């Protein structure tokens, strides 16, 4: 997910958010992971796009 979608959506999605799985946020800022109810944890990753994809592939 992009940073703008994360910034706009976190509040309207509420708690628990609709995802029910880890969500990787691609950003230029370093942030702490944001755990929510229902199994969603927003993890902000500023390093590279390959790391979130690798994490997503592990969930299959």
Rounded Cα gap, residues 43 and 52, in angstroms: 9
Instruction: Show me where the domains of the chain are located.
Output: 3-58
pLDDT at 55: 57
Mean pLDDT of the chain: 80
Rounded Cα gap, residues 9 and 30, in angstroms: 18
User: For residue range 29-41, what is the model confidence (pLDDT) as tens digits?
Assistant: 878 999 999 999 9
Rounded Cα gap, residues 37 and 43, in angstroms: 14
pTM: 0.69
Mean pLDDT of 39-51: 76
pLDDT at 36: 92
């Amino acid at each position: 997910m992009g940073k703008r979608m994360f910034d706009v959506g976190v509040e309207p999605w509420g708690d628990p958010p609709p995802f029910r799985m880890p969500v990787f946020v691609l950003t230029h800022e370093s942030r702490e992971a944001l755990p929510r109810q229902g199994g969603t944890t927003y993890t902000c990753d500023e390093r590279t796009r390959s790391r979130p994809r690798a994490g997503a592939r592990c969930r299959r």
